[in-house]
Structure 1
Amino acid sequence: MSAIATARAAWGADVPDWIMALAHECDRTSQNQTAKRIGRSASFVSTLVRNCYSAGLEGAEEVVRGALMSENISCPVLGEIGKHVCLKWRRRAGSFENVNTQHVMMYRACNRCPRCIGGDHG
């Protein structure tokens, strides 16, 4: 069964567009290649397509929209970046790392950003 057919069977008539984009990419390449492209595991991709993902979908949606659907946001520091890149930096902003100047700059910026309000680091 194709990933698109699996998604339609699991999600019903209201399959989100980003799930369909994920399923389409799985059918176009493979589940493993899709997982690598979005920076997640193959089991993560499978649970999303099969509508079995137990955690909140917001972070997963941002990763797919940014990596596969080329959706961007305006970052006050980096300019236009993919949503998946924003999520990566927000997650890193959960703890301070004095690795290099960019990490320090992004730690400060992300912790002041409205997308990260309330300690929601993705």
Structure 2
Amino acid sequence: MSAVDTARDAWGEGIPDWIEALAQECDRTSQNRTAKRLGRSASFVSNILRKRYEASLTAAEEVVRGTIMSETVACPVLGEIGKHVCLKWRRKAGHFENVNAHSVTMYRACNRCPRCKGEQIDE
């Protein structure tokens, strides 16, 4: 059974487009390669495809949309960046690191950004 068939069986008619894109990428390459590309484990991908992932799917959706579907957001500092890149910087913005000037700039920008604060953004 293909990953797309597995996902459709689990999610039914209302399968989200990003789940279908994830399944297609698994069929195109492999589940392990897709997981590596996302920076996640193969079990993470498997649980999402089978609708068994119990945590919030918001971050997973952003990683898939940014990495596989090449969706972008407008960052006030970096310009157009992938959603997965935005998520990475938002996670880093949770704690201050004075590693270099760029990290400090991104920390400040992310903490002021409505996307980081969970506010609704029109894209």
TM-score range relative to shorter protein: over 0.9
Aligned ranges 1:72-111 → 2 under 5 Å: 72-111=72-111
Tell me how many residue pairs correspond in the alignment: 118
Question: CA offset at residue 101 of structure 1?
Answer: 1.3
Question: CA offset at residue 95 of structure 1?
Answer: 0.6
Matched, 1:23 2:40: no
Aligned residues: percent identity?
A: 74
TM-score by length of 2: 0.93
Amino acid in the other structure paired with 2:48: L
Per residue, is there more helix in 1 or in 2?
1
Question: CA offset at residue 105 of structure 1?
Answer: 0.7
Aligned to 1:114: 114
Stretches of structure 2 lacking an aligned partner (at least 5 in a row): 119-123
Question: CA offset at residue 13 of structure 1?
Answer: 0.7
Amino acid in the other structure paired with 1:92: K
Aligned to 2:59: 59
The runs of 4+ residues in structure 1 deviating greater than 2 Å are none
Question: CA offset at residue 44 of structure 1?
Answer: 0.9
Cα-Cα RMSD: 0.8
Q: Deviations over 1:21-78 (max 9, x none)?
A: 0000000000110011111111111111110111111111110000000100000000
Distance across 2 between alignment mates of 1:44 and 1:100 = 32
TM-score by length of 1: 0.94
Stretches of structure 1 lacking an aligned partner (at least 5 in a row): none
Distance across 2 between alignment mates of 1:91 and 1:21 = 24
Aligned ranges 1:41-52 → 2 under 5 Å: 41-52=41-52
Distance across 2 between alignment mates of 1:42 and 1:98 = 33
